[in-house]
Chain A
């Protein structure tokens, strides 16, 4: 009798879960590179106002998001911070088209510690610093930061004192909270209202790192969201979205791949 109760309970529970299929009532899901988090919120607001399509943002480093997509994560659009990770997704068969370049990002050096001058800090006392950079393996801005440190011949000296954030979002948090003396992040982050007046920053010479080309693509999946995904994809190249990107310090015109 007790056994029947168990079987009955387990069975009804299984039924309960097999009945749940509401996948197509869901919002559009946009996997977004962390360096795009602030402009993306504004772009989504503009997109929702124009098309009435609700969209959710899923933030992460480009590398982490692309792994999740290749493992079958149900995202509809991937807005990355470089071209390599979206390319991998296309190669793995999760997208029909090649990634399209939508903006070029810039790397900045930023410190929220008033004892340091961002223009001279690296030259004077490199060994006493706790610098934060994003993980070069999975975050395009981390990769660029590593290139800069290699170019300045500082990598060997300060590698042991570096702190690695999972993405620029975590780097921002390290620097804002002064847990790190300074570090490399995206220009877009520092144009955001929350970070606008925090500390000092300067642009990094663009010849010191390979250009950070942001690419995006539509993810092939079984949901019925492909049309909305295409609409969002097109929206990113329209004047409204391009204006927001420009306000955040991105270059959007005359880009060469």
Chain B
């Protein structure tokens, strides 16, 4: 049995979730607090991957980074980053594709906190960053956990974009979801079942874990 596609899928999901966490906290904070007239536009952009077919994102990435376009040529020749048919490209695509799954929980978590919490911290002389780090974020742990798990799971479940810009290269872009498709086409149902079953088991465990934690079952059990 070949483990590489599964390993690759989880590697992609870990890296993507990590990057998303870094960009979504400031983004979510800004969206939760800003009164800028640009806010609706940014909110729309963040939510676009929810409604767009993955093929739209895949298609535009393909067009933008194609070696036949000036931008694509600049990117691969001058910056030296290969986006199409590479693992780096899959990270970029997944970050775009899973962005709303991380930003939304963080944004709604922060908006639901009473403003008195922040004001109290300011009155006690804490700076903005200290307030975010020590007061606001610890109060939305559940939302952050939800964001982490949803982005992770959504990245594992990615298929359309990877099919378009991945190129099915073993060890580089052949993720578990693609490998299943590939094995079914090759009529290797046993191997396809192996990947599919492992994904079902792992995703079930991850989601169960989150619901147990967020539902407070674990706390109750330990008390």
Bound-state CA distance A158–B4 (Å) is 43
Q: Chain B residues near A56 (CB, 8 Å)?
A: 169-171
Q: Are the CB atoms of A170 and B66 closer together than 8 Å?
A: no
Bound-state CA distance A157–B131 (Å) is 71
Interface check A13, CB cutoff 8 A: yes
Bound-state CA distance A56–B80 (Å) is 25
Q: Are the CB atoms of B184 and A173 closer together than 8 Å?
A: yes
How many chain B residues sit at the interface, stated as a range, is 20 to 34
**Interface hit among B18-26, B34-42, B148-156:** B18-26
Interface check A27, CB cutoff 8 A: yes
The interface bits of chain B over 83-95 (1 if a CB of A lies within 8 angstroms of the residue's CB, else 0) are 0111110010000
Q: Chain A residues near B76 (CB, 8 Å)?
A: 72
Residue of B66, B68, B129, B187 with most partner-chain A CB within 10 A:
B187
- Give the residues from 143 to 195 in chain B that come closer than 8 angstroms, CB to CB, to chain A: 167-172, 182, 184-187
Q: Chain B residues near A68 (CB, 8 Å)?
A: 85, 167
Interface check B54, CB cutoff 8 A: no
Interface check A167, CB cutoff 8 A: yes
Interface check A203, CB cutoff 8 A: no
> What is the distance, in angstroms, from B85's C-beta to the closest C-beta of chain A?
4
Q: Are the CB atoms of A169 and B186 closer together than 8 Å?
A: yes
Interface check A176, CB cutoff 8 A: yes
A6-B26, A13-B19 known; A73 and B185 CB under 8 Å?
no
> What is the distance, in angstroms, from B206's C-beta to the closest C-beta of chain A?
23
Interface check A3, CB cutoff 8 A: yes
Interface check A10, CB cutoff 8 A: yes
> What is the distance, in angstroms, from A189's C-beta to the closest C-beta of chain B?
9
Interchain Cβ contacts within 8 Å, total number = 74
Bound-state CA distance A170–B182 (Å) is 10
Q: Chain B residues near A58 (CB, 8 Å)?
A: 167-170
Q: Are the CB atoms of B187 and A173 closer together than 8 Å?
A: yes
- Give the residues from 72 to 86 in chain B that come closer than 8 angstroms, CB to CB, to chain A: 72, 76, 80-82, 84-86
Q: Chain B residues near A71 (CB, 8 Å)?
A: 62, 66-68, 84-85
Interface check B133, CB cutoff 8 A: yes
A2-B129, A6-B26 known; A59 and B186 CB under 8 Å?
yes
Interface check B132, CB cutoff 8 A: yes
Bound-state CA distance A176–B19 (Å) is 43
Q: Chain B residues near A13 (CB, 8 Å)?
A: 18-19, 22
Interface check A74, CB cutoff 8 A: yes
Bound-state CA distance A114–B24 (Å) is 57
Q: Are the CB atoms of A169 and B185 closer together than 8 Å?
A: yes
Interface check A9, CB cutoff 8 A: yes
> What is the distance, in angstroms, from B135's C-beta to the closest C-beta of chain A?
12
Q: Are the CB atoms of A59 and B171 closer together than 8 Å?
A: no
Q: Chain B residues near A167 (CB, 8 Å)?
A: 185
Partner of A72, one of B66, B80, B81, B170: B66
Closest to B26 in A: A6
> What is the distance, in angstroms, from A1's C-beta to the closest C-beta of chain B?
6
> What is the distance, in angstroms, from B42's C-beta to the closest C-beta of chain A?
19
Interface check A117, CB cutoff 8 A: no
Q: Chain A residues near B19 (CB, 8 Å)?
A: 13
Q: Chain A residues near B26 (CB, 8 Å)?
A: 6
5 pairs, CB–CB < 8 Å, chain A vs chain B: A3-B129, A26-B171, A34-B185, A71-B84, A73-B169
Beyond known contacts A27-B170, A27-B171, A73-B84: 10 more, CB 8 A cutoff: A6-B22, A13-B22, A58-B170, A59-B168, A71-B66, A72-B85, A74-B85, A74-B86, A75-B167, A195-B187
Using CB atoms and an 8 Å cutoff, list the residues of chain B in contact with chain A. Answer: 18-19, 22, 26, 62, 66-68, 72, 76, 80-82, 84-88, 91, 129, 132-133, 167-172, 182, 184-187
